[in-house]
Amino acid sequence: MLTDQLISVHEFCSYHQLDITFVETLEQQGLIQITTVEQGLYIQPDAVAPLERLVRLHQDLAIHTDDLDVVNELVERIESLQQQITQLQNRLAFYES
């Protein structure tokens, strides 16, 4: 895989003022996936948004790294339920008009 399509974990951590061990801990918990290429750690571009959400939860709400998996699961459930509500509202609006 070409590294120009990947995002360096080191650059991500320096941009967000994080320690690399934070990202490594998230990988150990199974919340993100890190790719190793020639001694460098990288993340996929589509994994940046979920990783940034975890960073915000950790920094802004002071959620401990060990608890991020639970909070992340709850946030994903809320987003799923919101999507279902929107779909049901759209179906209801179709039948009401």
> What is the DSSP pairing of strand 7-8 with strand 35-37?
unpaired
pLDDT along the chain (97 residues), means of 10: 82 94 94 92 94 95 93 96 97 89
Give the domain extent around 85.
3-96
Provide the angle, in degrees to the nearest 10, between the axes of the packed helices 48-60 and 68-96: 110
Q: Which two tokens stand for residue 4?
A: 């120009």
State the amino acid at position 8 in one-letter form: S
pLDDT for res 68: 95
Q: Provide φ and ψ at 6, rounded to 5°.
A: -110, 160
**pTM for the full predicted model:** 0.82
- CATH code for the domain in which residue 67 is found: 1.10.1660.10
Say how far apart CA 32 and CA 9 lie, in whole Å: 12
State the total domains in the chain.
1
